[in-house]
């Protein structure tokens, strides 16, 4: 095998792996969009019933659950927790905005 052959096979393998990564990234984005559609509905339900935007007990259960899922998937549980914390912070921000809009529109 020549150096050129090796370079071409390495390039082909890199391209194959990168295409897989691109497909996975697209799936992650679509899954997050679906998740946020659901959490928006939760935000509206909470606002309609004057429930707080955050639910620390639920968040704790979700973190524990996600850490366990990460371990079984051979993913760093600390990374999974950081990712969930980031997502939850964004969800809470959305819920606060929804509650504020609901209150200012007299819907609550």
Pick the more confident residue, 97 or 106: 97
What is the mean pLDDT of the segment spanning 5-9?
83
Q: How confident is the model over 76-93, as pLDDT tens digits?
A: 999 999 999 999 999 999
Q: How confident is the model at residue 105 (pLDDT cuts 50, 70, 90)?
A: confident
Q: Do residues 44 and 94 touch, judged by C-beta distance below 8 A? A: no
Q: Do residues 90 and 53 touch, judged by C-beta distance below 8 A? A: no
pTM: 0.82
Q: How much is the pLDDT for 6?
A: 74
Q: How far apart are CA 80 and CA 85, in angstroms?
A: 9
Closest residue by Cα to residue 79 from 94, 58, 63 = 63
Alpha carbons within 13 angstroms on the beta-carbon side of residue 10 total 7
Q: How confident is the model over 26-76, as pLDDT tens digits?
A: 999 999 999 999 999 999 999 999 999 999 999 999 999 999 999 999 999
Residue 47: exposed, middle, or buried by beta-carbon count in 10 A (0-12, 13-18, 19+)?
buried
Average pLDDT, the chain: 93
């Amino acid at each position: 095998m020549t150096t050129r052959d090796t370079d071409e096979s390495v390039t082909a393998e890199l391209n194959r792996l990168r295409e897989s990564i691109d497909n996975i990234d697209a799936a992650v984005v679509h899954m997050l969009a679906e998740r946020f559609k659901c959490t928006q509905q939760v935000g509206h339900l909470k606002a309609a019933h004057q429930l707080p935007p955050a639910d620390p007990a639920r968040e704790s259960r979700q973190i524990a659950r996600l850490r366990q899922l990460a371990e079984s998937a051979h993913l760093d549980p600390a990374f999974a927790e950081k990712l969930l914390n980031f997502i939850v912070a964004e969800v809470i921000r959305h819920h606060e905005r929804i509650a504020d809009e609901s209150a200012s529109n007299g819907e609550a």
